Amino acid sequence: MAAPQLRSIDPSPGPVPPQVAPAPRERILHVFRAPVGGLFRHVLDVARLQVAAGHAVGIFCDSSTGGTRAEAVLAELVPRLALGLTRVPMRRNPHPLDLAALARLHRVVGRTAPTVLHGHGSKGGLFARLVARPAGVPDAIRAYTPHGGSFNYRPGTVLHGLYMTAEAMLTRRTDVFLFESAYIAGRYREYVGEADRLVRIVPNGIDAAEFAPIAPAPERHDLVYIGELREAKGVTVLFDALARIRHGPGRRLTLLVVGSGPDEADLRERAERLSLGDVIRFEPPQPIRDALCRGTVMVVPSFAESLPYVVLEAAAAAQPLVATGVGGIPEIFGPAAGALVPPRDVEALARALLRKLDQSEEERRNEAAGLSAFIRSRFSMQRMADGVAAGYGAARETRRASLGRAPAPDTAAAPR
């Protein structure tokens, strides 16, 4: 069998005018698996802000997922990655390829000497905490940001038990936990235990430009779903709710489904079986605002989530929303969380959809504006970056104290 393909891209140094090239304050290597979804966006946002703040940044991730979109986004970022981009094959679940990937990461760490190893998600957290600290950097810290993943497996299953055992063992190799939501922090406490390490909750954040209003398309569907097409996203329950509305109250609601995933063929077949083929339109992934403008109400029928960007983005843009109260979604809705729907409840989802659609345009607009204002006050991208930097700094002080070394001046302070 051919050896797995390993790809590493190092930026060309090129001449840099001295006046715009301050010495980097940190050397940060972000480690994660798949360059897709909310985790990928989180890493990109944090990395870009860290580069802008004068840090040297690198990325280590999977080479077999993400497709052409990830390729394009990463290619655009590479010239700014002082520690380079390295992509190797990774699998979601434990696999023999993990040993090859970990060996590759060890070489990258030896070459780039990061002061921060930041793992994202279960696989990234595993690699970033297993790899040895770089020689000559004894106060290098290991940060870990869970993004749902293994914490969303059903408790009591073999995989859930395996992952929680691994999380417990890796705790002692963690300097700081940077949870993206209070929900995931709670899942960690419940199934792993209280961590005897620094813990910070640093919510995902979005940019000010994402609060710009969306101009509705001339012709809109009643509903729009945007996301992966897989069981945990609850699309089957959404279809069942549409069928109940059509065959009960007799309302013909139209739905635009934007996304892709392993269950797409099954969902298309289910739509036909429920006699919904004429009201459901499937389209491939596209920029979220291009899809939002084509739906009156966005639906998030998930069974499990962490702190989904798709909800943050839609709420910021004042898109009317119907969502389930799972994961960190209640944290996003804040004082409006009482309107969230129980997961897997077809009847409750059907009622919520009809209530939202039967509101006047002004009522929907006012509710959406209130949620947008709450998002603006709590989920800033810069606040996210500052929180991550503060977590790094606190972890370094703790590590230096354990090594018996005095803290260095302002090496990990939050950017001003």
Inside any domain, residue 2: no
Residue 63 lies in a domain: yes
- Do 329 and 185 share a structural domain? no
Q: Average pLDDT across each block of 10 residues of the chain; the chain has 416 residues. List them in order.
A: 41 41 78 92 97 97 92 96 97 88 97 98 95 95 88 81 90 96 93 92 95 94 96 96 94 96 96 97 94 98 93 97 97 96 98 97 96 95 95 96 66 36
| Residues 374, 391 within the same domain | no
Structural domains in the chain (count)? 2
372 in a structural domain: yes
Are 47 and 69 in a shared domain? yes
User: Do both 276 and 256 map to the same domain?
Assistant: yes
What pLDDT sits at residue 24?
58
Q: Are residues 180 and 213 in the same domain?
A: no
| pLDDT tens track for 370-413 | 999 999 999 999 999 999 999 999 999 999 999 886 554 434 33
Residues 186 and 44 in one domain: yes
- Asked if residue 291 is part of any domain, the answer here is yes
The pTM is what?
0.85
The DSSP secondary-structure symbol of 401 reads H
Q: Is residue 409 part of a domain?
A: no
Asked whether 156 and 162 are in contact (CB, 8 A), the reply is no
**Alpha-carbon span 132 to 332, nearest angstrom:** 37
180 and 328 belong to one structural domain: no
- Cβ neighbours of 97 (radius 10 Å): 15
Q: Which domain holds residue 160?
A: 7-12+25-205+380-403
E strand or H helix at 40, and its extent?
A: helix 37-52
Indicate whether 254 and 161 sit together in one domain: no
* C-alpha closest to that of 79 among 109, 115, 51, 111: 51
Distance CA 33, CA 149 (A): 11
The sign of the CA dihedral 410, 406, 113, 33 is negative
| Shared-domain flag, residues 292 and 388 | no
Q: Is residue 18 part of a domain?
A: no
Does some domain include residue 191?
yes
pLDDT (tens digit per residue) in 324-363: 999 999 999 999 999 999 999 999 999 999 999 999 999 9
Any idea what the CATH number is for the domain that residue 275 is in? 3.40.50.2000
Region label for 155, one of left (φ > 0), alpha (ψ between -120 and 50) or beta (otherwise)? beta
Same domain, yes or no: 262 and 339: yes
DSSP 263-290: THHHHHHHHHHTT-TTTEEEE----HHH
Q: Are residues 83 and 230 in the same domain?
A: no
**Claim to verify: residue 198 and residue 257 sit in the same structural domain:** no
Does a structural domain hold residue 416? no
